[in-house]
Amino acid sequence: MIRTFTARAILVTCATAVVSVIVTAAVAFPVAVTSANTRARQGLGEKATLAGDVLAVARPADRENLVRRLRQQGIDVYLIRRGVSDQPGLPPRIVKQVAAGISVDSRTTMAGHAVLVAGRPLAAKGNGVVLTRRAVTGTAALVLGNLWLALAAGLAAGLAAGGLLARLVATPIRNAALAAARLGSGDNTVRLTVAPPTEVAELAVAFNQLAAALATSEGRQRDFLLSVSHELRTPLTTIRGYAEALADGVVSSEGAPKAGRTMLDEAERLDRLVSDLLVLARLEAADLPIELMPVDLAELIGSAAQAWGPRCAGVGVVLRTELPAGPVVVRTDPGRIRQVVDGLCENALRVVPPDAPLVLAVRAGPEGGVVESGVVSGGVVEVRDGGPGFTDDDLAVAFERGALYQRYRGVRKVGSGLGLALAARLVRRLGGTIEAGHAPEGGARFTVGLPYEAGT
């Protein structure tokens, strides 16, 4: 079995050359045979006319000499005297025509062979001369005999063309395979040279874009892992410090409750981070369980507002709700929607200053309207705040893991960098849409569009 592209290219080009030669010969050979017979018939007719003129006046010795020379050229000579041929084999029809003074130029069969016939009458009545020679025929042996040189030239051309084609096409493919192997081994700096032909250039451009995307993705993953490791280490360090203090008796009995509450808060923070990581992993693996049921979004957000009221009051944030007069019912997973709302509220309370608003709003989606990507909205949930908000550049990467964390770490309070990414994946898992924007209250606005029927 031929496995390499080079060998296959050479084989195909050689086969193409051979087929081209054979087809050309098959078409051209009948034409060549007809042309050769036409020329032979014209020449035979001219010789017959000349022989008639010579034989009419020549001496017997000259006549014998002429006949001998014609026969040396492969031409048979028949002399007709008083309507009778001097040799057998000549068709009677031709003898009668020549004896009657009629010239003959035809093709007939003699002794099982196709022959060309040229007959001329002489001056004496009933006398004449007839010349015959074999006609050119297109036999298979003759065709093959004349094709050897053309086939050899075709094979040589096929080898050269196949080798050139293989070099032009196989070399870029081989280079791409080597580059892909290096990319697979972790070398994200490898790039292909963009050069013609167009298809090879497109392959090089696509490969370079893939390599650049992988490098960017790995960079983001590395930054994300660094941020997550930092977030894990911080509560663990706090818990370990207080645990060592309690074990060594450094903390007095009066300070034990405070130390316990601090350790509990840090443990809860650590538990939230691990839970977020677990949910993200399950979302990406598409095995997060979803329980669909009819949900009144107005009632769900009202319950969320009651739960977040005390926390907002504790930090001086004004919690407001904007709920419709009637129910807004969709079929979705209420627990996951509440998880999204709680995450957005958690992010907002981290940065919203005292006396600034936090707004939870619900409205019915436009009947038959489209929010994004063809998803028809059954209801819309908004979480708006009066905090510092986002820039336009922030909005473009708001739902990428760790993107805003890297930008604002050390500038303002940040979480683990997972909250918005988790919210976006949960909403999309339910077939909805989520977008970030600027709120009229001056801070950030998150709009969640939910379809009438969750498309999980």
Domains observed in the chain: 5-140 (3.30.450), 198-284 (1.10.287.130), 293-451 (3.30.565.10)
With pLDDT > 90 as the criterion, what percentage of the chain qualifies?
A: 7
**What's the pLDDT tens digit per position in 422-450?**
788 888 888 888 998 999 988 889 999 98
Query: How far out from the chain centre does Cα 162 lie?
Result: 25
- What pTM did the predictor assign? 0.46
- DSSP for 88-126 reads TTS-HHHHHHHHTT--EEEEEEETTEEEEEEEEE-SSTT
Q: Who has greater pLDDT, 131 or 48?
A: 131
Q: Distance between CA 76 and CA 86 in Å, rounded?
A: 12
Say whether pLDDT at 5 is over 80. no
Q: Name the CA radius of gyration of the chain, rounded.
A: 50
Q: What is the mean pLDDT of the chain?
A: 77
- For residue 276, CA distances in Å to 22, 129, 152, 283, 333 come to 73, 115, 73, 10, 18
pLDDT at 271: 76
User: CB under 8 Å to 98, separation ≥6 — which residues?
Assistant: 80, 104, 119, 120, 121, 128, 129, 130
pLDDT band, residue 362 (cuts 50/70/90) = very high
User: Own/partner pairs for 172-181, CB < 8 Å, 24+ apart?
Assistant: 172/200, 172/203, 172/204, 173/5, 176/203, 176/204, 176/207, 179/207, 180/207
Structure-token pair, residue 196: 């013609």
Q: Distance between CA 367 and CA 46 in Å, rounded?
A: 99
